[in-house]
Structure 1
Amino acid sequence: MDHKAGDKLYVDFAGQKLSITDKDTGEIITVEVFVAILGASRLTYVEAVSSQQKEDFITACENTLHYIGGVPDAIVPDNLKAAVTKSSRFEPTLNETFSDFADHYGTTILPARAFRPRDKALVEGAVKIMYTRIYAPLRKVVYHSLKDLNEAIRVVLEEHNNRFLQGRNYSRRQQFDEIEREVLNPLPVLRYELKKQFHATVMKNGYVCLGPDKHYYSVPYRFIGRKIKLLYSSSSVEAFYHYERIAMHKRTRGLYLYTTEKDHLASTHQFVADWSKDKFLGWASSIHEDVRLYIHNIFDRKQHPEQAYKSCLGILGFSRKVGNERLIMACRRGLHYGVYNYKTIHMILEKKMDQYEESLFADELPMPSHDNIRGEDYYK
């Protein structure tokens, strides 16, 4: 095959494994060996990892990109589960996390066809070479950690990449520096953050709970009752519904706390979320100073401001029902009585006591006119 410079990076796991020895127990632990090779220059990368699971596979792919110092146009993996969730001759289904990793680095995933060894012949050939040039010298030494093993792998790997290709007067490293280094796409500023998945149902209040943290995040209210998927990393939480990202938050680990994006709330919920003492006092001031003073006295008589919110909302709401003038007079009479609550203002307005003459604010209320009541002249 004719390989274009900067086009493809082939990745695979070696069939044979290496091992490390537990220093305390003497247990021999087998480890997987990840191999990657660039198509044009044949520059090779090798790393020992704990398993073929998604986390180890993606980390190894990322380390490869940083080893070569750039990003190829495509990565060609085998049909392992960490890369492909469902193989297909025509359109394989990629693992979502691996696909997200590719998006982060601006590359494409092109899985090798199942049962088509020629699609990955280059990396399989590299694996066979690794058995003699890397495995053989490493098996003479006992390693007690993956870190020690990978440091030893890096030494013999550099020897391999700097060795002249058979029948040629240049090495893989020289060929890479000459034809491939400059055509690779640049690495992003930040490394990829591995994401985990969690499925949850949006609660009636418009929040969804990230189970591992027991923390609640808001999503647009139209998704209430829907089953959504959360993709979370060490720094962010993303919510998806039918492959559409509907919300993104900075990850917070406070137990049983709420992280809210105001735009996610319904209009009525947004209004409630904005409630505060200053908001109600400002609303009252826009009507009249007497109304502001009455509202202020309500807050002063509550241990917690939230205890007064509904009372203040009800009182200020009268401005739309009866008009500002009647509400001002009602608050004046309420200030005179020295009783500060919603029921007092409601009674004053209902009984139309706000319409009494100003003189009625005196300590003595006037005697109402009635046939059964004798006036002062009756006793003269």
Structure 2
Amino acid sequence: MKTQLRNTTAPRILRTTALAAFLTTHITAAIAQRPTPPTRDPHTSGYVAATELPDGAIPSPHADGNFILGPTHTPAPETSPQPNVPQGNIYEFTMSSADSKLYPGIARDPGTFGTPDPKDPAKLIVTTSRPAPYTRHVAVYVPQQYVPGTTAPFIVGADGPDSTLFTTINNLIAQHRIPVMIAISIGNGSGDAQGSERGLEYDTMSGRYAEFVETEVLPLVEKQYHVKLTKDPDGRATMGGSSGGSCALIMAWYRPELYHRVLTYSATYINQQWPSNPDTPHGAWEFHEHLIPNTPPKPIRIWMEVGDRDLFNPNIMRDDMHDWVLANERMAKVLAARGYHYQFVFAKDAGHVDHAVKQQTLPEALEYLWQGYPITKSKN
């Protein structure tokens, strides 16, 4: 296990550039195999009624409900390092699948996907998934304002490390807009969708990933970096984009005694669970189809976003449960019907987990997420 410490102002240009090039190459290749998503109109019949904001404006962090962003996505200043702001520290370490009791590792053979079950188009048959080791990276942000020995709230993020999250939190703490909090950004176990380690972790409708974080990640963070993480679910948040977004809600839904706050970009609230589970046969589509409408409201506060060019039917399944825009619209509708505190943002001129939209909205999203939690001091 490797650990290193650096200040948030340390040079990261080479690493960031290399990572961006890698992601661009692989994401472009993946998207090239998908149909081009249509541009959706937020006023489409059946979509939720929403307040259309002036171009460049974002919602108030105190407002529940549905909002439409214009096509201009200017980065919020809080997403970039600011002068005269106390700089927290970022610690990094790696985790090996050999040390995990919950996720020993799987992978799908390169160039393979799966075939729809001829008896049920909502099920995908994957025969090329096999045991495989992985190494994941974890990054931990500890604010300079943290007092050693005190209990701190925290956020767990998927698909890490996430430098934008760390920088934004750093600035918002200094502005007293969110509590003094720790951020834990966890890399996935590799791959994507059915048959992959990432898909198993993020798309499975159960409390297993939350248990993994609770028993295998958080104890390492506390021990190695001498921090104390709150046990109060109101002081714990989850965050992610795409399948990482559905995972964020899955963690809170199945383990509400652990997490009450959820932030998602282009969440995969669609049918992507594998292996199939008869209790939730449609995967995360079940959230808006059955689970939220038919379950007493849980103490979850959620901020979520989708883009007008978000994903639509990107694979060989034709089950009518692979439309990211429709899935998020349906989520907003059922959350409102059940009385949840939520804010839903529909972004124009935006793709899947759109980076420009994230830079524009993340500060407001985090401030909305932490409404009601004490800002001036940590909660014990």
- TM-score, normalised with respect to structure 1: 0.20
Question: In terms of Rg, which structure is larger?
Answer: 1
Select the structure with the greater relative contact order (CA < 8 A; seq sep ≥ 6): 2
- TM-score, normalised with respect to structure 2: 0.20
